[in-house]
Structure 1
């Protein structure tokens, strides 16, 4: 990689200008120079809201490009994870990352030499045909969801939440299948930079990250690991007295015209105390009235009402809609205002549709149609971080001081010359002496008391006290003030002990006694992880028990999931009250609940087609991180998100598959309920009949505008399903797909790839990946050898028979020409029958047999670390960490496999080998090397596919 273009810190201003059309702030250029010249980031960035701190992404990526040619000496991580402890609404980091990605993709047309060199350097890391940058928002994990890193050295920016990144880092990715858990952990726990935004919201996770950093390095392992660092970004740092000073603004920054305008903009907020009960109908009415008064008096173009609970937000939203004629109840009169509801409890598809209609009025720098009615946004805490809103006015429920400052960061964000009026509303019960909020404890009262003490006293008794919550004004008020008692409670995470790390790294199987992940992410009072709900119209309560077959063909995808607390899902399925009483804060403590209570509507838990956890469950069986598929007829949601009191059917968006999956279209009467005449024409085409051949069926469907191309396949026989599925035979060749997890998905492709060719292809790919990922040459050679031998267990005559559909004669005739991939595709039911016909025992794993064969291979003796080679072979499908489901009565008693208690290599059994390798390399670096082999396997398989 010696020909990688050279970049220096002097190039950063030109790159920034080319990316964004304006020069960097002084602090941005200063930080870029510091990082590039030292190779390290400061531990903390203390930057106020609106100062452009998401430019940390630009700096991190520029640093990576500057070091792309250093090989094993590279200090800049290839993956950058921007983490926010809020569900993303308009994620400024994601938007910025997309801007960077698009600019790099067309760098050659930019006219900026520095940007062109940066893109070329990043593409060298990505590998052949790889993009300069991949950008991904990680939301609810799903089994076999698309890769967010096609190669182990692909420059990548991830934007996600503490729950999603933290659970993956700790080998327990929420919603991620057990076999994929080590891949996610390895890619996030090694060669990754974590930018923890608004770190004061995620203190427990920051503490856990400190422990992870310790266990990655000597003396907890024998070798220095790949680059990895955590940087906290916050306007209110809470470092200890002995911690290094954070990186922050200087006088040069504060005198910059753009920043000075943002910092000095006044934001007068009136303090309003209510006598109404908190969180009830009167509270919602009072907040709605406050919004109406601000609208009538100041005529803002955009106004936000921000509250602390989803249920209260929904109640305020309904009242504001009714008051301003946006609920369809005005006899044809145009609405006086447009009203929308924004919470984190909404499906990705619905959120994107909602925001796409209003982003031109909400985002910083947006333009507004002067003839359009005012826009009122009712929201929860979800807009406190990651939302690049620039609002004209604000009404907010009382919150801790740090949360209020975040909310006011969305008010006149760019310092426009407008009045920017605001109201802070508190009910007496929220700020009384005995107030103890489930989310914020006593901090509401403490903050209210402090605000009342510093507020300017009104000239007239009937007027309300006013506090200037502008950035500079608030900084002056807080000078010398201990803010800890006024800010959100920051609990301490439990110590992540070595024993915890040992248990967490056991992913196959996950131990029955398992550390509680929420404690390490959110502290000791945290509740369990959210669950994800998916609505499908073609499922009914009666057919739900047989949903596995249809979900295997059309599995849930991230765009159709809605995250809710576990307790809320249980209450909703039981039709209990208060299922909407959830905040938009991850990991808050769970309200009192009878967890053992029976009854309620069933749901179908989806954990992957092959998982034992997939199946019908009842509310008391729901577990943290579950993906629940329910009939659309259950209700519970609408275009604005979680609505547990609604009985209206929820729109089914299951066919809107993401780009990396094959296109599908379900043909079921429930999905054509509003088009009965169209279904009448389709019904004969999806019924089992010998009168129509496949071509005639496809032609008939195309005549009804249902066409997925000439290579489509119509699946008619689906167990327990009163319909059919039209699907493309292959997924898009340019899209990433999940790493193969099982023998069926990895071997029954129908491509007929010879075993020797496949082994050579994967070895070449793994060697290139290992070099790009910065592995030393001797370790890269070991990784390549493991890749070369990984599928040798497929030489078993029974496996070869299976690849030929269970045809023993075909396998005998082809003896001497072993395959890695089947010569014909097989549906799941056909594959199961062929597996039995071939004589393979249930649970048989070819990778366990690959380890046995590698022990007798003379090439193993030439490895620098033969134990590592064996480990990477045995775990290349995610099993064997450290136990295998494999069993084989035909096994040679003198050559025991890694699944056996009496397996021995160098005096160690398989679990002991695991512990020795973790001590040698560290848990996360070992997992990264596993990911390198698995990614090489998949990319080589992808390249071997015959064109459709």
Structure 2
């Protein structure tokens, strides 16, 4: 088979151009599919890097039109992780990839055996629906920002249930192909990406993974870290012959006249900003060409919003804009683009970008987020001064394909900034000074005329192996805080929280407000003029956060700690958002909530919660354990897991829910069934409560009866009881295999993992016996018979292993788990942990059909 011709046909089919011999991939795109993967990809902007990577990955995974027909390249992992530095128009990448897969006839959903595509964002997920994480044996493409992806890769996923962190961690480090696009925008995320690649090599993944860094302005020195050497990295770039291709030359030699704008940002006082915005609005209006797109890129959301308001031809604004050069009747409608919009508004903006400019043209006002993978081309570009690598990316959004060459070319105006720290934000003044020296003597921004990116890598915190290993423990510390990963993900001034708005009256717990959907969430900066400014003006009781331990919404006080990835619920009447403006701390108009009947109305996941035990159909415990064991066996076969590790996964699923025989859980399940059906569960032990489909999952308490007195067991975790029963059955011995099974049993909900201690507000035994997670030393699990007739006698639970040192149960739990982490490494241990959980999820789902 002639590979280039065959790949050309595949490439055409992906774009819906089958049979069009004039449509073909660039040579570098073909080489990416034909040759071994490089480590770095450096090609000019507008050369189809996303298509090059995604289609080459599909080709090497053996996919062809309508199915998998070829041998899989062993060096190509099954999950393609496409990491973008900004959220703006992440959906564009998502939509393009979906279109290519549709055209090839191989787009599917999880479980279809095809290729699925997923956006990784914050927000709740419906436990009744299959997710990407449940099908690790399938090929899939995951797309997200570095915040969402790197936080998951560091076991601290932003905007998601903390109890799902280990599963996402496992799949993002095993059988994963990371694509880091537009690396010049990644900030601290860039050295973190290099360190993670180094750790996957030194700590050994369960399945091969790799990374590919992409940029038109790549400086390989930026990828050199204490554990990662960039010298040996293989780079794919255009050959001299490719550079002379007519289509490439049109891009590289696109005519882009460069000059300094008359407007200048001289200071950060209100008067300075107002004067600057008015001057810039006049300049933009004067330079705009009807029928074309003018793009204005500003360095902060606040300035972008101010310019949008100044140019917005709403009747209320016309009096203030009477001096603009364009008459109101023909004035182009401005469009604002940044990362602080809710999902529906962001998609509406994206839809407008797909349209041709109207006769009067359009003016796009954006932040630096427009640099990251946005496929648009302007005739006129205004940009504030930025680091040189960012300026080159911005220039690439003007006359992108050389389409304006025949009409005299495009115009680019660069805007100088005052040489001080405040005006330079979010950039460093030294980086702007270096860029100013490069740009002030240039008259052309054609790619062929631009000097290379040679500035030194910015100084960022570098993740060390010890700190990374510490992240594996997902329990908060004794003060209730998590280890802060923010310095390794994004610059502090650019870090975000997630906000959503609701009408909840005086108390969101009565009735209980459900978890937010991803469409409700809006990113908002932790910078002084954003979230802190909003919270400062709000009244007590207008800001709430979910407390998974207390299992309720708690008021967020003004002096409470803000951290990246935190999810806050704001009273709709408090304002802070406008559909066309995005998040704006000063906006006081009521925000329209997006909660609707289509939103999954489920309680945010709590420590005490067990939503997968409160499904519609009641399921006996022996059946569920057998089903989970069978699913584990099938999953291990599909992924080629064999030997002792396969036995550990299968055995763990066989035992994982044995603790549901505990009186506390059994009572909760029976109470839940009674609330959900008005009937009693039958005799025996049960894994799922069952309820009527039209009823929400009930909230029942874990309780036991002692000497005729009812005692609530707060924070009860049945998986701890399951693990203790397993160790009891093994006479509490400690070896790698026994301890691995014990860990996998305990960790199958992500709530009992590396450490074991009592939690706040637990019910304490009256006689000072040991207790943790609702389980008391001396509790008894009744005799139990598995589906295959294996019978376990009654088990008396011991908790001595929660204490440090060697005891009657052998080494402590901390000693056992730390030894596993050292022996297997974090990637392999998480991989096995995730397999046990996925098998459990699959069994639960099939039982509900």
Tell me the TM-score normalized by structure 2: 0.82
C-alpha offsets along residues 697-720 of structure 1, whole Å, 9 cap, x if unaligned? xxxxxxxxxxxxxxxxxxxxxxxx
Query: Hey, what does 2:791 align to over in structure 1?
Result: none
Select 1:135's aligned residue among 101, 110, 117.
Answer: 117
Query: Hey, what does 1:626 align to over in structure 2?
Result: 566
Q: Where in structure 2 are the equivalents of 1:719-798 lying within 5 Å?
A: 744-798=610-664
Query: Hey, what does 2:79 align to over in structure 1?
Result: 79
Select 1:473's aligned residue among 431, 449, 455.
Answer: 449
The whole-number CA distance in structure 1 between the counterparts of 2:604 and 2:534 is: 33
C-alpha offsets along residues 728-771 of structure 1, whole Å, 9 cap, x if unaligned? xxx9xxxxx99997653121224111112211221222222233
Assess, with a 3 A threshold, how the Cα gap between structure 1 residues 535 and 447 changes in structure 2: closer, same or farther: same
Select 1:341's aligned residue among 332, 336, 343.
Answer: 336
Pair 1:307 & 2:284 matched: no
Select 2:802's aligned residue among 900, 906, 922.
Answer: 900
C-alpha offsets along residues 260-285 of structure 1, whole Å, 9 cap, x if unaligned? 32222111122124466345111111
The whole-number CA distance in structure 1 between the counterparts of 2:445 and 2:278 is: 25
Assess, with a 3 A threshold, how the Cα gap between structure 1 residues 235 and 323 changes in structure 2: closer, same or farther: same
3-state SS, counterpart of residue 62 of structure 2: helix
The answer (yes or no) to whether the contact 2:733–2:810 under 8 Å persists in 1 is no
Select 2:746's aligned residue among 874, 896, 899.
Answer: 874
The answer (yes or no) to whether the contact 2:548–2:607 under 8 Å persists in 1 is no
3-state SS, counterpart of residue 865 of structure 1: helix
Offset at 1:305?
Answer: 1.3
Query: Hey, what does 1:153 align to over in structure 2?
Result: 137
3-state SS, counterpart of residue 607 of structure 1: strand
The whole-number CA distance in structure 2 between the counterparts of 1:807 and 1:452 is: 73
Select 2:38's aligned residue among 33, 42, 53.
Answer: 42
The whole-number CA distance in structure 2 between the counterparts of 1:760 and 1:237 is: 53
Select 2:825's aligned residue among 908, 917, 922.
Answer: 922
Assess, with a 3 A threshold, how the Cα gap between structure 1 residues 329 and 199 changes in structure 2: closer, same or farther: closer
Query: Hey, what does 1:190 align to over in structure 2?
Result: 174
Query: Hey, what does 2:762 align to over in structure 1?
Result: none
Instruction: Show structure 2 runs of 5+ residues with no match.
Output: 18-22, 222-229, 757-771, 781-794
Q: RMSD across aligned C-alpha pairs, in angstroms?
A: 3.9
Assess, with a 3 A threshold, how the Cα gap between structure 1 residues 491 and 139 changes in structure 2: closer, same or farther: farther
3-state SS, counterpart of residue 519 of structure 2: helix
Structure number with greater CO (CA < 8 Å, separation at least 6) is 1
Query: Hey, what does 1:484 align to over in structure 2?
Result: 455
C-alpha offsets along residues 119-153 of structure 1, whole Å, 9 cap, x if unaligned? 7xxx8xx98x4251222222335587984433122
C-alpha offsets along residues 192-235 of structure 1, whole Å, 9 cap, x if unaligned? 111111112225323223333333345x4xx6631111211011
Pair 1:547 & 2:508 matched: yes
Pair 1:53 & 2:49 matched: yes
Q: Where in structure 2 are the equivalents of 1:213-292 lying within 5 Å?
A: 213-218=197-202, 220=203, 225-240=206-221, 242-274=231-263, 277-278=266-267, 280-292=273-285
Pair 1:655 & 2:617 matched: no
Offset at 1:613?
Answer: 7.7
Query: Hey, what does 2:701 align to over in structure 1?
Result: 832
The whole-number CA distance in structure 2 between the counterparts of 1:609 and 1:173 is: 15
Assess, with a 3 A threshold, how the Cα gap between structure 1 residues 827 and 341 changes in structure 2: closer, same or farther: closer
C-alpha offsets along residues 875-933 of structure 1, whole Å, 9 cap, x if unaligned? 00111222345233342696425873279799432222211222222112211221222
Assess, with a 3 A threshold, how the Cα gap between structure 1 residues 615 and 558 changes in structure 2: closer, same or farther: same
Select 1:935's aligned residue among 818, 838, 841.
Answer: 838
The answer (yes or no) to whether the contact 2:293–2:363 under 8 Å persists in 1 is yes
Assess, with a 3 A threshold, how the Cα gap between structure 1 residues 827 and 180 changes in structure 2: closer, same or farther: same
The answer (yes or no) to whether the contact 1:307–1:379 under 8 Å persists in 2 is yes
The whole-number CA distance in structure 2 between the counterparts of 1:7 and 1:173 is: 44
The answer (yes or no) to whether the contact 2:298–2:368 under 8 Å persists in 1 is yes
Structure 1, 176-185 or 317-326: larger mean CA deviation: 317-326
Query: Hey, what does 1:945 align to over in structure 2?
Result: 848
The answer (yes or no) to whether the contact 1:143–1:608 under 8 Å persists in 2 is no
C-alpha offsets along residues 491-536 of structure 1, whole Å, 9 cap, x if unaligned? 23234131x123211103456575431222246xx34841111111
Pair 1:565 & 2:536 matched: no
The whole-number CA distance in structure 2 between the counterparts of 1:251 and 1:235 is: 16
Pair 1:505 & 2:472 matched: yes
Offset at 1:821?
Answer: 0.6
Offset at 1:411?
Answer: 1.2
Query: Hey, what does 2:32 align to over in structure 1?
Result: 31
Count of residue pairs brought into register by the alignment:
775
Offset at 1:336?
Answer: 2.5
Query: Hey, what does 1:592 align to over in structure 2?
Result: none
Query: Hey, what does 1:452 align to over in structure 2?
Result: 440
The answer (yes or no) to whether the contact 2:218–2:453 under 8 Å persists in 1 is no
Query: Hey, what does 1:535 align to over in structure 2?
Result: 501
Offset at 1:95?
Answer: 2.7
Tell me the TM-score normalized by structure 1: 0.74
The answer (yes or no) to whether the contact 1:200–1:490 under 8 Å persists in 2 is no
The whole-number CA distance in structure 1 between the counterparts of 2:195 and 2:301 is: 34
Query: Hey, what does 2:401 align to over in structure 1?
Result: 414
Offset at 1:626?
Answer: 1.6
3-state SS, counterpart of residue 804 of structure 1: helix
